[in-house]
Amino acid sequence: MLLAVTQGLGPVFSWFFWITFAAGLGWLLWMSITGREVERRIIFLFMGLTVSGAVLAGIILPVQETTVVRNVFDTIEGLSEGDRVLLSLDYDPSGAPELEPMAKAVSQHCFEKKLKICYMTLWGTGGAMITDVIALAKVDFPDLVYGDDYCNVGYRAGNEAVLRVIASDFRKTFPTDVSGTSLDSLSVMNGILNCADFKYIVAIGSGRPGIKEWVEYVVEPSGALMGSGAAAVSAPQLYPYYPQQMNGMMGGSKGASEYEKMLRRVYPKFKSSRAQATEIMGPQTVAHVFLMLLIVFANISYFLAKKRKGASA
Amino acid sequence: MKRTIPILITFITGGIIVLAEFIPPWAILREHVLIYFQIIAVFAFFLGGGSLLKINCQKVVRKREDWQFAIVTLVGFFIMLALGLFKMGNPEMVDLGFAADLNASGSWFKNVFDAVKAPLSASMYSLLAFFIASASYRAFRAKNSDATVLLVSAFIILLGQTFVGVVSTGWMPEWMSFFKVENLSLWLLAKANLAGQRAILIGIALGIISMSLRVILGIERTHLSGGDE
Amino acid sequence: MNYYTEKITRALLPANATALLVALLLACATLNVSAQESVVEEDAVGSALVAPVGVSSVTASDAPNDAGRAVVVTFVPAPVPQSEDQALTLSYEIHRALSQDGPWKKVGAMPSDTTAIMTFKDAGGRDTTSSDYFPTETDLYYRVRSMTVDTALFAESEIAGPVQGIGQWWNSGRSPVFWFVLFFTILTLVFLNVARKRGDSLYIRPLAGIDAVDEAIGRATEMGKPILYVLGLGTASDIATIASFTILGRVSRKVAEYQTDVIVPCYDPIVFTIAQETVRSGYMDAGRPDAYRDEQVYFVTQAQFAYVAAVNGTILRERPATNIYLGKFFAESLILAETGAIAGSIQIAGTDEIAQLPFFVVACDYTLIGEELYAASAYLGREPLLLGALKAQDYAKAVIVVLAIIGVIMTSMGYEWFAEAFKVVG
Amino acid sequence: MNRKVLIPIASIIVFIGFVLLKLDWDGADRTHELWEALEVTAGGFLTLMIFSFLYKDNAFYKFAEHLYVGISAAYWMCVGFWSNLAQQAIPHLSQSLSEALGQPFLGYIWHYWIPVALGLILLTRLLPESMKIGWISKWTLAFIVASTAGLFITANLQANFIAQIASTMSLPLLPDWTGFGDFLSNFDLSYEGQFVKMFSNWVIIIGVISGLVYFFFSKEHTGWFGRVSRLGIWVLMVTFGAAFGYTVMGRVSLLVGRLTFLFRDWAGVIG
């Protein structure tokens, strides 16, 4: 595994890096055992070095597929040509490393299946994210036609209020698309009166308003079918809604990398496309190992201190 | 009058929205109210921008601490406002005029967003990774039974995401695959976590319903206090 | 097609083209499309296929629980053609008319499927000028056309109707929600009355975090250091913030009694004015309005991380004896709690943002979990109003615990209708 | 010259230097290339400025943060103006204005003046407090609070209360039960096995109930009630542990994303 770091920086440097790093860890362990305080900036430095080292090494690890992600994939796989899908990108640049790969993979999948996508967002910053995702999807599908293959209705302020209105009347909130074209003249939106008219809704979001609000204000009142892509922070609290209120969920970069894997398994043509989430998983694993070490060290230190206290008392 | 009108507004608006859920012909009323809400939401942004302007101008004029940085804020604010309101450098302007997509790729508004706002907000959030490391080292200790349960559960989830965990329990035969770390962590998330989340969710939902009910009935008026009365 | 025509139109016209001209050109574009279709029709004349068998048992009925702008059409698809010269049905078009003789208007299409009874919901809006206008309380007739590859070759079904889209005054699918709203409202009102009569004698279990508040104020007095109260990032309409105001009022009264300081940095301008008023009246209630200074409650900024940096600065400079974080918190929760721990303050936190609770639990001394935050305001204030509401919440919880147990047993015994009764439709 | 002047000037020079390094005039579209170089360089610089906060609060961090605050506020105002005012309100209020903004006129609706009026009322908060008209903004506040409260009631009741009980109820205590003998002979601990399925359902049902018992406020937590509530706390702690572990993943992803940007796009160390 460590040898993988030879890529990019040269073997001498990487060996030097990892040996120094291991020595540092040893020092940290010693500090913990002897019960001395470690300043938090040193911990920060360790964290930075760990992740930097792993990023530079470009470690790629296999991911395991799970049912909760596969449900989203299978639903899209089961739709037929021309079906309409609503893709809501409710995040900002800070959530993009986790969520953009999902949005990209779902878009690629839909366009490959010749489904029509309507993009929208509940976040002011989402407009820029939509532009980015469409640009990414167009790399593989340069012939997409605006209005026939996809459309972008953009952003509306109002959080829950937006959702509650589009659940019963889409055009009331979005009479036109992002550049003032009436939805009646876009074939993507033909016959779409409310959210339930979309065959599938995929909400990709990192906070509030996000997936929870989609369930509360769209799925419940309109009975629409929804899947989601959640930032890792909010994924655990969405489990009560699965599978009754949303039929699948991609959680964090792990979920995104699973989706990327499924997409490449079924459609090998995407193997050449960059799998952004899978790239994240390697360094992430290394960081997890480091954090587990920290927790172990901290508890060793805690128990030794308790023992010493017990002995002196 | 200063007190009754807000309470009347609260009662009527809230009443319409709740009852419209059960009376289909009222749905149109609810939709209008919610569209109003959406339009007012924008004025809240203006209020935010206006407050920022006011405070920073005061800071500069009175030469308070860090007033130089207030100038940075003001310059950033006005540049972005000009780029956005006039859709400067927007390539779609040629075809569509002011109807062009504000975030069209290549527009200056989007470019500044990509160059300044995007890296700043992404970097700020990634600072949290460092703080998580420090919290794990400093606070994550098995002080009592509750803390121990929390610690073990977090540890299994972390372990389940790594090759270390997968390798260490890879030897287990199929009949006890429940104890494989990756399955265990999945189970913790999808079952045990679900139970706790659902309990919290139901509790919070009840609290919110109760408070909202009191707000609409005019029993709870905290939000209407403050300012000059 | 339409899009391109439109693009050209917009390029040709000055930037702010009038809507009328766009509409005109769109109409031309539509004509263009139909012209192309007719070409296909001519091509197909020579084919030897026969029309397929039409669908049968077409019914049309008013859609339930709506405002009368929808009709549900069902039909049984024809079996797969037996002879080779019969054309294959590819899709069904649903047509609607105001009389049996037409004119017919296409209102939708469905891909062919021979397996089941097919259902189509014809719904529309109330806007008479819109293309999806749906006339309510008017006789409507429906028919289904089975379409083949060849647009000229199709089969009509019999006509169903007349049917009217009628608005219902009650959404029966939502009845469970209504009964719960009613039940809960009555419960709340009843317990408000009980609480008013019995005063503050209603029992509320102690909340460790809130008991610690009084202790913390005492400690701050001894140390001669202030108390930091953070209301979080919520707006004035967030329930957690509203609950936090009540607690802030109580804390500031206590603080004024003990003659220490409370610092309240605010994130939202509206929350800021309310907080100011709350603290001021807290000092007033304690009989020390003179001790209140405007600098105690201040507006920082409405940017998450700038706000955190400022509060962090305050924590490290002032080293408050106690930090109280109650309200809505997001990603900043961890940074605040970490910094406070380093400054050696006692920390009491509470939020209903579930994702942030783990950080508070790990890094703070006391944490109010979700609903406990709302309960805390009742526990502290001991106002009959809040106590009554809390009691009502408890009863609602008791009811669902009992219902859940009954439901689980019923499901296990195979009576799934019980759990089904709680499903809300539409 | 003192440090206050020297450092900003030096920083600007270094910044321009980096932009020039990144710049590569080979295509025809020079504006685009300039923007690209600026974007990557500014992104790298600002990221490092923010990271400097980890060492301590400093002038670079403050610069980045203040810039962020200004840009953000203006960003929201522009986005809000073009999306909700220009596309939603104005097309129902004024034909000439909506045409000037490039939006189709959608028909005059008089009562759309109500939200505009309420919005303007909200802005009176910007006026100095001495003018004593802040009270009028409470009308708007009342409207906002009431509409969210109204939405909260039914949405929470339906999605987070009734639906949650219904989901819990639909879990059978004995899934795929075919008899005690079958259960014993097929007994194993595999992840897909019957026992684990049954165990999971029990955990969820007992977990939800005991968690709810913990949230009972008007009964003393002693005796059996106390023991159930104790179990409830443990369930909550498992939940928090899981959430903590998952959040770590999320935060690290963001850091990886940022570092990938620094190494790949900015420094060009990796391909």
Triad C359, C364, C369: Cα angle to 5°: 65
Q: Which of A124, A158, A237 sits opposite D79 (nearest CB)?
A: A124
pLDDT > 80? residue B61: yes
Across the range A138-155, mean pLDDT stands at 93
What pLDDT was estimated at residue B32? 93
Least confident of C63-72, D88-97, D145-154: C63-72
Total domains in the fold of chain B: 1
Structural domain contains residue B128: no
Per-residue HEC secondary structure of chain C comes to CHHHHHHHHHHHCCCCCCHHHHHHHHHHHHHHHHHHHHHHHHHHCCCCCECCCCCEEEEEEECCCCECCEEEEEEECCCCCCCCCECCCCEEEEEEECCCCCCCEEEEEEECCCCCCEEEEEECECCCCCCCECCCCCCEEEEEEEECCCCCCEEECCCEEEECCCECCCCHHHHHHHHHHHHHHHHHHHHHHHHHHHHHHCCCCCCHHHHHHHHHHHHHHHHCCCEEEEEECCCCCCHHHHHHHHHHHHHHHHHHHHCCCEEEEECCHHHHHHHHHHHHHHHHHCCCHHHCCHHHEEECCCCHHHHHHHHHHHHHHHCCCEEEEEEECCCHHHHHHHHHHHCCCEEEEEECCHHHHHHHHHHCCEEEECHHHHHHHHHHHCCHHHHHHHHHHHHHHHHHHHHHHHHHHHHHCCCCHHHHCCCCCC
H or E stretch at A290:
helix A276-312
CA-based Rg of chain D, rounded to a whole angstrom?
30
Tally the residues of chain B.
229
Share of chain D above pLDDT 70, in %: 98
Residues of chain B in contact with residue A68, where contact means CB-CB under 8 angstroms, are: 190
Residues of chain B in contact with residue D255, where contact means CB-CB under 8 angstroms, are: 126, 129-130
Q: In this complex, do A175 and D88 lie within 8 Å of one another by their Cβ atoms? A: yes
Burial A66-96 (b: 16+ CB within 10 A, else e): bebbebbbebbeebeeebbbbbbbbbbbbbb
Angstrom distance (rounded) from CA D145 to CA D122: 13
Structural domain contains residue B179: yes
Angstrom distance (rounded) from CA A58 to CA A44: 21
Q: Which of D102, D221, D240 sits opposite C16 (nearest CB)?
A: D102
Residues of chain A in contact with residue D270, where contact means CB-CB under 8 angstroms, are: 8, 55-56, 58
Across the range B33-49, mean pLDDT stands at 92
The pLDDT confidence band at residue C82, using thresholds 50, 70 and 90, is low
Q: Among all residues of chain C, which has the CA nearest to that of B132?
A: C334
Q: In this complex, do C26 and A171 lie within 8 Å of one another by their Cβ atoms? A: no
Q: Which of B99, B102, B203 sits opposite D212 (nearest CB)?
A: B203
Q: Which two tokens stand for residue A281?
A: 């998983």
What pLDDT was estimated at residue D236? 94
Q: What is the pTM of this model?
A: 0.89
Q: Among all residues of chain A, which has the CA nearest to that of B162?
A: A285
Q: Are C351 and C240 in contact (CB under 8 A)?
A: yes
Task: Report which of A289, A290, A294 is spatially closest to residue A32, judged by C-alpha positions.
Answer: A294
One-letter identity of residue C331? A
* CB-based burial label for C414 (10 Å; 0-12, 13-18, 19+): exposed
DSSP 3-state assignment of A229? Answer: strand
Q: In this complex, do B124 and D50 lie within 8 Å of one another by their Cβ atoms? A: yes
Angstrom distance (rounded) from CA C51 to CA C86: 6
Domain ranges, residue B204: 140-229
User: What is the distance in angstroms between the Cα of C125 and the nearest Cα belonging to chain D?
Assistant: 15
DSSP 3-state assignment of A204? Answer: strand
Q: Which two tokens stand for residue D259?
A: 């570092």
Largest CA distance in chain D: 91
Q: In this complex, do D256 and A160 lie within 8 Å of one another by their Cβ atoms? A: no
Task: Report which of A210, A180, A200, A158 is spatially closest to residue A72, judged by C-alpha positions.
Answer: A200
Q: In this complex, do B207 and C335 lie within 8 Å of one another by their Cβ atoms? A: no
**Helix segments in D156-179, DSSP class H:** 163-169
Q: In this complex, do C408 and D100 lie within 8 Å of one another by their Cβ atoms? A: no
Q: In this complex, do B214 and C385 lie within 8 Å of one another by their Cβ atoms? A: yes
What pLDDT was estimated at residue A9? 54
Q: Which of D79, D166, D260 sits opposite A55 (nearest CB)?
A: D260
User: What is the distance in angstroms between the Cα of D61 and the nearest Cα belonging to chain B?
Assistant: 10
pLDDT > 60? residue C96: yes
Across the range C50-78, mean pLDDT stands at 81
Burial C60-93 (b: 16+ CB within 10 A, else e): bebbebbbbbbbbbbbebbeebeeeebbebeebb
User: What is the distance in angstroms between the Cα of B196 and the nearest Cα belonging to chain D?
Assistant: 5
Q: Which two tokens stand for residue C60?
A: 């049309």
Angstrom distance (rounded) from CA A227 to CA A241: 11
What pLDDT was estimated at residue A63? 85
Least confident of C146-155, D30-39, D246-255: C146-155
Average pLDDT along chain C: 80
Q: Among all residues of chain A, which has the CA nearest to that of D159?
A: A216
The pLDDT confidence band at residue A260, using thresholds 50, 70 and 90, is very high
Angstrom distance (rounded) from CA A119 to CA C22: 24
Structural domain contains residue B199: yes
Residues of chain D in contact with residue A54, where contact means CB-CB under 8 angstroms, are: 256
What pLDDT was estimated at residue C92? 84
Using alpha carbons, list the distances in angstroms from residue D71 to A254, B73, B116, D68: 32, 7, 8, 5
Condensed to tens digits (0 to 9), the pLDDT of residues A8-21 reads 555 666 777 788 88
Residues of chain A in contact with residue B132, where contact means CB-CB under 8 angstroms, are: 291
Residues paired with A202 in a beta bridge: A87, A227
Across the range A150-162, mean pLDDT stands at 93
DSSP label at residue A183: G
Q: In this complex, do B120 and D64 lie within 8 Å of one another by their Cβ atoms? A: yes
Distance of CA A75 to the CA centre of its chain: 18
Q: In this complex, do B116 and D71 lie within 8 Å of one another by their Cβ atoms? A: yes
Q: Which two tokens stand for residue B86?
A: 């006039």
Residues of chain A in contact with residue D84, where contact means CB-CB under 8 angstroms, are: 156-158
pLDDT > 70? residue D7: yes
* CB-based burial label for C42 (10 Å; 0-12, 13-18, 19+): exposed
Neighbours of chain C (3+ CB pairs under 8 A): A, B, D
Q: In this complex, do C171 and B21 lie within 8 Å of one another by their Cβ atoms? A: yes
What pLDDT was estimated at residue D153? 93
The pLDDT confidence band at residue C118, using thresholds 50, 70 and 90, is confident
Structural domain contains residue B74: no
User: What is the distance in angstroms between the Cα of C385 and the nearest Cα belonging to chain A?
Assistant: 28
D152 touches chain B (CB under 8 A): yes
User: What is the distance in angstroms between the Cα of B112 and the nearest Cα belonging to chain A?
Assistant: 11
Share of chain C above pLDDT 90, in %: 19
Residues of chain C in contact with residue B124, where contact means CB-CB under 8 angstroms, are: 304-305
Residues of chain D in contact with residue B13, where contact means CB-CB under 8 angstroms, are: 142-143, 146-147, 150
Q: In this complex, do B193 and D239 lie within 8 Å of one another by their Cβ atoms? A: yes
> Which residue ranges make up each domain of chain A?
2-59+278-312, 67-274
The answer for C 201-230 residues in CB contact with D (under 8 A) is 202-205
Least confident of A284-288, B37-41, C34-38, C349-353: C34-38
Q: Which two tokens stand for residue B4?
A: 């009754």
Q: In this complex, do B93 and C15 lie within 8 Å of one another by their Cβ atoms? A: yes
User: In this complex, how many residue pairs, one in chain B and one in chain D, have their CB atoms less than 8 Å apart?
Assistant: 435
Structural domain contains residue B82: no
What pLDDT was estimated at residue D148? 92
pLDDT > 80? residue C35: no
Q: In this complex, do A288 and B158 lie within 8 Å of one another by their Cβ atoms? A: yes
The answer for C 92-151 residues in CB contact with D (under 8 A) is 129
Q: In this complex, do D141 and C236 lie within 8 Å of one another by their Cβ atoms? A: yes
Residues of chain B in contact with residue C305, where contact means CB-CB under 8 angstroms, are: 124, 127
User: In this complex, how many residue pairs, one in chain B and one in chain C, have their CB atoms less than 8 Å apart?
Assistant: 162
Q: Among all residues of chain A, which has the CA nearest to that of C122?
A: A191
* Helices D194-214 and B193-216, axial angle in degrees (round to 10): 30
Q: Dihedral of CA B166/B169/B173/B176: which sign? A: negative
Angstrom distance (rounded) from CA B92 to CA B102: 9
The pLDDT confidence band at residue C9, using thresholds 50, 70 and 90, is very low
Across the range D87-107, mean pLDDT stands at 90
Condensed to tens digits (0 to 9), the pLDDT of residues D164-214 reads 999 999 888 888 788 888 888 878 888 888 888 899 999 999 999 999 999
CA atoms within 13 A on the CB side of C77: 22
Across the range C286-293, mean pLDDT stands at 89
Residues of chain A in contact with residue B184, where contact means CB-CB under 8 angstroms, are: none
Q: In this complex, do C397 and D215 lie within 8 Å of one another by their Cβ atoms? A: yes
Average pLDDT along chain D: 89
The pLDDT confidence band at residue B91, using thresholds 50, 70 and 90, is confident
ipTM value greater than 0.90: no
Q: In this complex, do D163 and A245 lie within 8 Å of one another by their Cβ atoms? A: yes
Query: Which CATH class, in words, describes the domain spanning A67-274?
Result: alpha beta
Q: In this complex, do D208 and B6 lie within 8 Å of one another by their Cβ atoms? A: no
Q: Which residue has the higher pLDDT, C294 or C115?
A: C294
Triad D258, D261, D265: Cα angle to 5°: 170
Q: In this complex, do D54 and A41 lie within 8 Å of one another by their Cβ atoms? A: yes
Across the range C319-329, mean pLDDT stands at 93
Q: In this complex, do C354 and D243 lie within 8 Å of one another by their Cβ atoms? A: yes
Q: In this complex, do A80 and C125 lie within 8 Å of one another by their Cβ atoms? A: no
Q: Which two tokens stand for residue C399?
A: 């009811």
**Helix segments in chain B, DSSP class H:** 4-20, 27-61, 67-85, 93-96, 108-112, 118-138, 145-160, 163-168, 181-187, 193-216
Distance of CA D123 to the CA centre of its chain: 26
